[in-house]
Amino acid sequence: MQANGIDPSTGFLDRDSCLDLLGRLASSAAASRQMLAALWIDLSRMKQVNESFGHLGGDMVIAQIAQRLREKSAGRGEWCRMGGDEFVCLIPHCDAEHARQLAQDLLQTIEAPIRFGEIFLHPSASIGVAILEADEDPFVFLERADRAMGTARRQGGGRAVASGEEPLPGRLGVLLAREELRIENQLHLALENGGLSLHYQPIVGFDGRIEAVEALMRCTVDNEHIPPGKLIPVAEKTGLITRLGEWSLLAGARHASHLNNAGYRTKVAINVSRAQLSSAKFGQALHAALLCANVSPELIELELTESLFMDISETVQANLHTARTAGVGLAIDDFGTGYSCLANLKDIPATKLKLDRAFVIVLPHDRRAFAVVKVMTQLGRELGMTVVAEGVEEQAQLDALREAGVDAIQGYIHARPMPEDALLEWFRKRSAA
């Protein structure tokens, strides 16, 4: 039973009163040019609670959470119950930043466990946030908060999503956040108009030989440089990584051929992503690149991130063998960052182990890290691999790595990644010296 537009179990305004109030708050916000925020909150799994504990139990949970919401918002905003397990909070004079912060605080308070006799219930919620726009219909405004909540729920709940920040379908139909959408667009432009290039970073052995050069992707569109850390995840999400990967495979192989023709018989290490290696067409792409670039397979090495080895599918295993049989080297990249399964390591036909920069930056002071590096190096050696340390910037790090038995070093201490011309110049100067 409801009296005076108040929901009895929570003490919040009921739906009709909420809509009345919304009209009044929106008019007054428009007249005084003040902000108005709406949070739409949906509790998760209330259906299960009702099934397990009956409707009385469900009501008790709702009442307890309503109490928490009221306390957390500390008199800011008007609370409404829109139906079963959905609430709205209308907050005058509240900008997007504060609304988002309040949504986070509310999520946190909702998530505190609720005791049911011997059982602890772990509530959670999805929250949509909207800010009233100039001349906007108040109902459209509230609908935006509802829709943003729907997005938060589809993303798994336990989160807040602001209206206008919901993911949108990109060119290839994959749902992307705004920034990702922008990057996807830049990537298409780069692929179509030639904004991609490779920079090369030498890997230098302790014996003075150039072990290899690593090819690192660079992407520039309209004078904006997009770093690999942003570009690769979007490419992987959209599937564009296959095209990017084929491009870098061919460009890297051509570079190996150029170096060889210039008299520097150095391996070029090319990064390969999980998606590429999981494709049944990878072997074809590899052979095509070797053929087009007219390069000997011994001059190519593929860098595979350690995460790839968590579970190796038959296709991946077959692709690794195709590469090795052809004579292409295989390096395990970013080794030691937490994904490798040592049991898998013995089955991978890798020729090189690249220790992650995380171990290097704490050297030489962290003696435990030093011990780990030493043991990983021994392990790599025992398995017949060349061991490389990545991201070396200081002489003291280099000295520690030499002591640990590492074979070769990649890092700013020797050279930063550079374009092809600059690399040739670097080689020339080095030979002259």
Min dist. Cβ of residue 271 to Mg ion (A): 5
Min dist. Cβ of residue 270 to Mg ion (A): 9
Show the beta-strand stretches assigned E in 122-209.
125-131, 159-162, 168-169, 175-176, 196-205
Nearer to Mg ion, 184 or 334 (CB): 334
Q: At what angle do helices 138-154 and 15-32 cross, to 10 degrees?
A: 120
CB atoms closer than 10 angstroms to residue 316:
19
Nearer to ligand C2E, 94 or 355 (CB): 355
- Structure tokens given for 313: 């599918």
Q: Does residue 333 interact with Mg ion by CB under 5 A?
A: yes
Min dist. Cβ of residue 414 to ligand C2E (A): 9
Q: Does residue 386 interact with Mg ion by CB under 5 A?
A: no
From candidates 14, 301, 303, 420, binder to Mg ion by CB under 5 A = 303
Min dist. Cβ of residue 379 to ligand C2E (A): 19
Cα–Cα distance for residue pair 433/429, rounded to 1 Å: 6
Cα–Cα distance for residue pair 118/344, rounded to 1 Å: 43
Min dist. Cβ of residue 59 to ligand C2E (A): 52
Min dist. Cβ of residue 419 to ligand C2E (A): 13
Binding site for ligand C2E (CB under 6 A): 201, 216-217, 227-229, 232, 245, 248, 271, 273, 303, 333-334, 390-393, 410-412, 417
Q: List the end-to-end C-alpha distance of the chain, in Å, as a whole number.
A: 91
From candidates 271, 276, 386, 397, binder to Mg ion by CB under 5 A = 271
> DSSP states of 265-286 as a string?
---EEEEE-HHHHTSTTHHHHH
Beta bridge partners of 159: 126
- Structure tokens given for 26: 């929106």
- Structure tokens given for 12: 């919040």
Nearer to ligand C2E, 229 or 384 (CB): 229
Nearer to Mg ion, 238 or 271 (CB): 271
Indicate which of ligand C2E, Mg ion, none lies near residue 7 (CB less than 5 to 8 Å, by partner kind).
Answer: none
Residues that bind Mg ion (CB under 5 A): 271, 303, 333-334, 390
